[in-house]
Amino acid sequence: NAGVMQNPRHLVRRRGQEARLRCSPVKGHSHVYWYRQLPEEGLKFMVYLQKENIIDESGMPKERFSAEFPKEGPSILRIQQVVRGDSAAYFCASSSANYGYTFGSGTRLTVV
């Protein structure tokens, strides 16, 4: 499977717990993007990373959210102390240049 792999597909967390969302980009892609889709809304940009660097995190909430894309391994989006408003679908995309995104199937986070 040469596509973007996201796991888990579904994640349930209680309020106050931590959520870790993983994204393995297409082989050879060094650019990773995270988007969030709230119910009945479009996708909203969160963060853009290249290997070991955050390029643009202007769409990511300043508190509780962090993202990394280490030299080895998948990109991780981490949400600490989750609240009900964090319930959403989180999509990762990768590319090898400025355009040509491939999206993963998303992680659906439910906070109970």
Report the nearest approach of other proteins to the CB of residue 63 (Å): 21
> Based on CB atoms, which residue is closest to other proteins, 72 or 98?
98
Report the nearest approach of other proteins to the CB of residue 21 (Å): 13
How many other C-beta atoms can be found within 10 angstroms of the C-beta atom of residue 90?
A: 23
112 binds other proteins (CB under 8 A): no
The answer to whether 4 and 28 are in contact (CB under 8 A) is no
> Based on CB atoms, which residue is closest to other proteins, 15 or 44?
44
Question: Which 12-51 positions form the footprint of other proteins (CB under 8 A)?
Answer: 31, 33, 35, 40-45, 48
Distance CA 76, CA 99 (A): 22
Which amino acid appears at position 110 of this protein? T
Binding site for other proteins (CB under 8 A): 4, 6, 31, 33, 35, 40-45, 48, 55-56, 59, 91, 93, 95, 98-106
